């Protein structure tokens, strides 16, 4: 089964093959890939008990040409399992904070807060 779903600027691809499943979520340049055994939360790999991948992309307030990207793996109780922060060249026009949440079952949503300064 191959299913394509477009929601705003989110692209969700679900592929099923017998007992394997793949969830691929793309929001702008954020990519989340979930399979039965692996969970790539943008730039990090989440451990098995992860329930939620959270990615935050925001402008670097000290350097206009840079962006801050925070990748987090959270468990069912919202405890942080892994959190990594990256500073990178800004590839997108950011006017605030963009946050994407992806759950192990493939549900995903995003928030775009143009007024956020953090």
Q: What is the DSSP string of 62-80?
A: T-TTEEEEEEEEE-TT--E
- The percent of residues in the chain predicted with pLDDT above 70, rounded, is 71
Would you kindly state where each structural domain of the chain is located, as residue ranges? 2-113
pTM score of the predicted model: 0.74
What is the C-alpha separation between 25 and 104, in angstroms, rounded? 11
Provide the pLDDT for residue 33: 82
Cβ-contact 62, 88 below 8 angstroms: no
Judge residue 82's burial from the number of C-beta atoms within 10 Å of its C-beta, 0-12 exposed, 13-18 middle, 19 or more buried: middle
């Amino acid at each position: 089964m191959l299913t394509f779903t477009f929601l705003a600027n989110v692209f969700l691809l679900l592929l099923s093959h017998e007992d394997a499943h793949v969830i691929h979520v793309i929001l702008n340049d954020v990519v989340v890939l979930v399979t039965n055994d692996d969970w790539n939360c943008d730039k990090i790999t989440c451990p098995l008990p992860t329930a939620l991948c959270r990615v935050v992309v925001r402008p670097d307030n000290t350097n206009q040409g840079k962006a801050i990207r925070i990748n987090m793996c959270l468990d069912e109780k919202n405890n942080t399992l892994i959190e990594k922060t990256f500073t990178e060249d800004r590839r997108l026009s950011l006017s605030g904070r963009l946050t994407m949440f992806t759950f192990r079952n493939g549900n995903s949503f995003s928030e775009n807060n143009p007024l956020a300064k953090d």
